[in-house]
Structure 1
Amino acid sequence: MADPASKRVLLTGGSSGVGFEAATVLIAQGHELTIVCRNQATADQTRSLLPGSVHILICDLADLGAVATICSQLVDSGAALDALVLNAGLQYAGASDPQFSAQGIELTIAVNQLAHQLMAMRLLPLLCKADSPRVVITASEVHNPSSGAGKVGKPADLGDLQGLRAGPGFAMVDGNPSFDGNKAYKDSKLCNVLMARELNRQLGAVMPVIAWSPGLVITRTNGGFFRYNKRSNPLGMGAFAFVARDLLRITESPENAGRLLAQLVCDPEITPGFNYFTNKVVRFGGHRLDPTDTSADGADLPKAAELWRLSEQLMSELPISLT
């Protein structure tokens, strides 16, 4: 008989980094875990490294058609979900040329935002079957221009969402034709915060909808995170990692961040409604996870609703089946 305390968790981005560490903790705690992996090789490696049993779905989040397919499979199964953990993310730092998904959507927004909104839209019936469901979305403090990381380079700014209005082929969500890989990532994290806001509004605060920032997490390779960046500078990223991690000690380890993500999935004290948590640097080499205010843009409810609407409209116009 299944442990009544066991949660059924669907996790994206569980093959590496924070997501992998969270998966390790959740499995050790006895939860039933389904991980979305982008290909069979990644799935096989993930399964071999994780302790215990785990169910794996093959789906490249850069292909919204594939996302729609696995969502249909999950809905057809009828199995309830206690937690939907939208954790996957990519960034191609320093890039000045956009790359595009199978449906012609700039990759950062396709993976970090649209794929996750589609999953939230389609899998909501499975969450509503659970007694105490929740959604957890990995955002970032870079969404906030007043944060330390948010001040570096161009700030997150979605403008009037002209890119989404224009349809496939846009470079930036704000409609700017000049691509900036760093800003695209910041914009996608602002989108994640707004997605959580709008999902909570639609649900009427009946379950926790949690957005969070894990802090500056740097692995020894960050290979998964930067996997689409064909112009990455390994020496430059290595030097940055050394200074931030080993000298300034402002980074968080994947292991600690993973434990925090697992905590957010399971913590019964988190109340229904929108919640935003930040893993803050509180002393030299130390962090603490605290409830925090988002940026002003991250609290813009009309923009959150418009972002959701335009994203849904864009996906409905793509050559994929969303039903």
Structure 2
Amino acid sequence: MKRLLMTGASSGIGLEAARLLACAGHQLTLLCRSQERCEQTRQHLLAAGADASRIVCHAVDLADLFSVERGCQQLLAQGQALDGLVLNAGQQRAGATAPVFSAQGIEITFAVNQLAHQWIATRLLPLLRAGEQPRLVITASDVHDPATGGGRVGQPADLGDLAGLRSGASFVMLDGSERFDGDKAYKDSKLCNVLLGRELARQLEGVMPVIAWSPGLVIPRCREGFFRYNRQSNPVGMALFAAVARDLLRVTESVQTAGRLLAALTTEADYGTPGFSYWSNRLVRPGLHRFEAKATSPNAADFDQASALWRLSELLIGRCLDCVSRP
């Protein structure tokens, strides 16, 4: 039995991975964005046959650094070692031309997909270090790489010199651009995720596996989960895109397969080599994906960029937690 903590387990591939891991007898601590989502997730897992004593859900809103900090404080106070930390939550606002901001005034794609996860990793690293053969898994995406199919559509991922993050102001794009592009913001956040894995592996000096991975294009049929914001803003367009991608072009991956891959990355010995690795569930031809270790984009292999992103993000988190009155 492994003691695992996961974000983004209330829907999509995270929920499917949690179901598989729970039914395999692992101890799960799941961070969900609200108490309602905690209860829904718990009931789903119990209905699937999970042991109630091995499922713990905490309401932690990744769009609010105070909520993240409170959750981390609670977990640190409990002191239970972790054998796996799975940073899986994410959101995408493709097509959006106006930014949405987090509780601390940070563009929400970056705040949720990257910043909250860096802080969780920072705060809970002592629990992970205390675990038995621990590993860290980060759900990224091939769209971080402009050479891939998804990465070359629209504006490519590119953080520039992190001018937006360096400015200390309420930036809308990490590269400092004042024109918001929801699709690029998502790609940039996935590039950040891979760089986060690079930096954590460097800091950990090879003592545990740090895995970043791409599940492929996964479009759940339900209205909740990763694509919920796109469905709300453009339900007809999203439904058409999903139908064409999934049923006509056959370029998508199923929630079940992607969830199984995430569960495997979290626990199986085949993925237990210490140090950084990137795994991609890449489309080979319509209807067929191949899951294998791949090189990241050159930008995602830039150790100086990874270090700068970590340092500037750490400063931003510090300012947010220090200068705003705690609720």
TM-score (norm 2): 0.94
Q: What is the letter of the counterpart of residue 96 of structure 1?
A: T
* Residue aligning to 1:34: 29
Aligned 1:159-308 pairs, distance under 5 A: 159-221=160-222, 223-229=224-230, 232-270=233-271, 271-308=273-310
Q: In angstroms, what is the RMSD of aligned CA positions?
A: 1.5
**1:147-189 Cα deviation digits (max 9, x unpaired):** 0000110000001111111224110011101100000000000
User: 1:47 Cα shift?
Assistant: 1.2
Alignment equivalent of 1:313, drawn from 289, 312, 315: 315
Q: Distance in 2 between matches of 1:275 and 1:8?
A: 22
User: 1:213 Cα shift?
Assistant: 0.1
More deviation, 152-161/313-322 = 313-322
Q: Distance in 2 between matches of 1:144 and 1:304?
A: 15
TM-score (norm 1): 0.95
* Residue aligning to 1:57: 58
- Higher share of residues assigned helix: 2
User: 1:45 Cα shift?
Assistant: 1.1
Aligned 1:75-154 pairs, distance under 5 A: 75-154=76-155
User: 1:319 Cα shift?
Assistant: 3.6
Q: Distance in 2 between matches of 1:88 and 1:321?
A: 26
Contact 2:223–2:231 (Cα < 8 Å) also in 1 = no
Q: What is the letter of the counterpart of residue 249 of structure 1?
A: R
5+ residue gaps in structure 2?
none
- Label 1:98 to 1:167 Cα distance change in 2 as closer, same or farther (>3 A): same
Q: What is the letter of the counterpart of residue 21 of structure 2?
A: L
Q: Distance in 2 between matches of 1:247 and 1:67?
A: 40
5+ residue gaps in structure 1?
1-5
Query: Which consecutive aligned stretches of 4+ in structure 1 deviate over 4 angstroms post-superposition?
Result: 228-231
**1:113-162 Cα deviation digits (max 9, x unpaired):** 00000001000000111120000000000000010000110000001111
Percent identical among aligned pairs is 59
Q: Distance in 2 between matches of 1:321 and 1:111?
A: 20
* Residue aligning to 1:3: none
Task: Number of aligned residue pairs: give it.
Answer: 317
User: 1:282 Cα shift?
Assistant: 2.7
**1:248-268 Cα deviation digits (max 9, x unpaired):** 111001111000000000121
Q: Distance in 1 between matches of 2:244 and 2:100?
A: 29
More deviation, 14-23/311-320 = 311-320
Q: Distance in 2 between matches of 1:249 and 1:228?
A: 23
Q: Distance in 2 between matches of 1:67 and 1:228?
A: 21
Contact 1:65–1:320 (Cα < 8 Å) also in 2 = no
Residue 210 of structure 1 aligns to a residue whose secondary structure is strand
Q: What is the letter of the counterpart of residue 166 of structure 1?
A: S
Alignment equivalent of 1:18, drawn from 7, 10, 13: 13
Q: What is the letter of the counterpart of residue 282 of structure 1?
A: V
User: 1:190 Cα shift?
Assistant: 0.1
Q: What is the letter of the counterpart of residue 31 of structure 2?
A: V
1:43 aligns with 2:32: no
Contact 2:82–2:131 (Cα < 8 Å) also in 1 = yes
**1:94-120 Cα deviation digits (max 9, x unpaired):** 010001000000000000000000001
